[in-house]
Amino acid sequence: MDNRPRRNRKSAAIRSLVRETRLTPDRLIYPLFITADESAYNPIASLPGQAQLGEKELLKEIEESLKIGINAFVLFPAVAETLKDETASYSWAEENFYLHRIRSVKERFPEAVLMSDVAMDPYSSDGHDGLVKDGKIVNDGTLPILAKMSVAQAQAGIDIIGPSDMMDGRVGEIREALDENAYTDVSIMSYTAKYASAYYGPFRDALDSKPKFGDKKTYQMDPANSKEALREALLDEEEGADFLMVKPALCYLDIIAKLKEFSSLPISAYNVSGEYAMVKAAAEKGWLDEAKAADEMLLSIARSGADIILTYFAKDYATRFLNGNIHH
């Protein structure tokens, strides 16, 4: 027998030499939930190990993460219901705690890369990503709101704008607004293929941002479709996106692979709350080894073609990586 693939698996050292995919902490973005309370640490029941963070705890979390090799963070605001309205006007208000937190982080840790969330749902009394008129989510009326929100975040010091709303044309509208206001260096990571998924539940618990009626299927993508992701990618590229994202990751590895082959832009993937929570729940029951399952999950996302991974496992993975305990 001339061909024996097992020869390349015979020891840990050999396996390391021929390993095709390597995932380092500097390719991860750590999602963090923030709240207006200055000193809050509010654990999120459906996201074990994650919490809504006040300013003090946010700065502490970022400082600890930077020390272990995580350089990038995406921030999500948990906004009180009393501050929400039909036009999401609090999103660009001077007193918006989210904008103040961005400034605080950049003042304390200028080296940290901060990514924002741009969509109406955290600030909308309707709980939808777009403007609601007569019971429908309207596309073009939403775009100026998203642009105004993006400029406010750029003014606060955000490095990467993250439009997660899935409105048609929003990347171009945001790019134009940023450029007109001299924020030409601010990047856009478009949620290019964001699917109408069942895996977002814990995230919506964390922000209390569930739709007040209906669902998001008229703007988020149909899980049955893959060619449509290429159409979205082409549009986002033409409109000025700097990164293309697939969300969720685990059920859409084929989409990540398609976009990687299709586009020359960096491809990111969001390892979403439901994917994280199911590993945590199974590990709590003793059905899975959490570290091994998480490492395998993240490796599969990188192997499929993701250059960047947004994941709640970021800090745990980076700690294991630093200690040489990655399970590959």
- The three-state secondary structure class of 88 is coil
Residue 44, C-beta contacts closer than 8 angstroms, at least 6 positions apart: 33, 50, 51, 52, 202, 205, 206
**Active-site residue identified among 84, 216, 247, 260:** 247
Residues of the chain with pLDDT > 70, as a percent, come to: 100
Q: How far apart are CA 171 and CA 244, in angstroms?
A: 11
Compute the radius of gyration of the chain from its Cα atoms. Answer: 20
Domain boundaries, the chain: 21-322
CB-based contacts of 284: which residues, under 8 Å, 6+ apart? 48
List pLDDT tens digits, range 32-68.
999 998 889 999 999 999 999 999 999 999 999 999 9
What is the Cα–Cα distance from 235 to 1, expressed in whole angstroms?
A: 51
Q: Reply yes or no on whether 84 is catalytic.
A: no
pLDDT at site 322 = 93
CATH 3.20.20.70 given to domain 21-322: yes
Confidence band for 328, pLDDT divided at 50, 70 and 90? confident
User: What mean pLDDT is predicted for residues 18-34?
Assistant: 95
Return the closest-CA partner of residue 196 out of 156, 252, 234: 252
Provide the terminal-to-terminal Cα distance of the chain, rounded to the nearest Å. 28
Dist. CA 43–CA 30, nearest whole Å = 16
Confidence of residue 209 (pLDDT cuts 50, 70, 90): low
Catalytic option among 194, 258, 260, 280:
194
Range 114-139 average pLDDT? 92
pLDDT value of residue 215: 83
Distance CA(137)–CA(131), nearest Å, equals 5
Active site annotation includes 194: yes
Return the pLDDT at 212. Answer: 80
CA–CA gap between residue 139 and residue 15 (Å, rounded): 50
**What are phi and psi for residue 163, nearest 5 degrees?**
-70, 115
The residue written with tokens 């007040």 in the block is 212
171 within 8 A of 147, measured Cβ to Cβ: no
Q: Burial code of 64-80, b = ≥16 C-beta within 10 A, e = fewer?
A: ebbebbbbbbbbbbbbe
The structure tokens listed for 70 are 């995580």
Averaged confidence pLDDT in the chain? 94
Each residue of 188-205: pLDDT tens digit? Answer: 999 999 999 999 988 877
The whole-angstrom separation of Cα 176 and Cα 184 is 9
Cα distances (angstroms) measured from residue 84 to each of 8, 9, 37, 89, 110: 58, 56, 17, 8, 30
